[in-house]
Amino acid sequence: MKLLMVDTATIVASAAVIDDDRLMAEMIVNYRRKHSEKMLPAIDHMLQDSGLSIQEIDVFGVVNGPGSFTGLRIGMATVKGFAQALHKPMVTVSTLEALAANLYCADGLVCPVLDAQRQQVYTATYRSTADSLQTVLSERVCTVDVLADILKDYAGPIYFVGDGVKKYGEHLCELLSEGICAPPFIRMNRASSAAQIGMQKITAGQTTDCMLATLNYIRKSSAEERFG
């Protein structure tokens, strides 16, 4: 089962191809947000290096939020285009769950924090089980002080991942004595991590038709909040 996963939720543009449990190729570009220009050539190059054609992909996956509204739409449009043209199913994966999978099997909580602007973060917390991630705190948008207050009674290490760590990580670790900021190369989005979750969902029969796949923004855009 070959899965092509695309992640454009943040400034990091990433794509990966896995065949069952084997990572065949991965592309990561952490420089400027020009996903509409980067993604299609990168996917083409990655497939060529893997010796695959786009027709050989069985399922198309996309990270569907939360994150940059524009970035998410680019990723969704790209993957929907492939799936619709080739009559293949899709699978969607949460940005936060995919980030948590970077630290799969960590000995504590994994807490993704994505910068949501306005002094807020998109966040959730997860714990590893034998073969999956268990949600401890559901996805939400809140300030880092509110997040720290929620986590203050947890006894054990709390690993922070995501682009919000650069902005808020030091403050979170001041508020939480067992907070640990993952290093930059681990805390950024990786399509390979999302693909592993996507493959689990495929195995569980949790694919969708391309016309039914949706984005999960968590909150409304500034314009929607202002004008309804």
**What pLDDT, in 10s, does the model give residues 120-164?**
999 999 998 777 899 999 999 999 999 999 999 999 999 999 999
Domains of the chain, earliest start first: 2-94+190-227 (3.30.420.40), 96-186 (3.30.420.40)
HSE of 219 in the Cβ direction (CA atoms, 13 Å)?
18
CA distances 126 to 84, 96, 172, 207, Å, are 33, 9, 17, 22
The confidence score (pLDDT) of residue 31 equals 81
Look at the block and give the residue holding tokens 């952490």: 30
CA–CA gap between residue 32 and residue 29 (Å, rounded): 8
Question: CA-CA distance, 82 to 118, in Å (whole number)?
Answer: 35
How do residues 159-214 score in pLDDT, each as one tens digit? 999 999 999 999 999 999 999 999 999 999 999 999 999 999 999 999 999 999 99
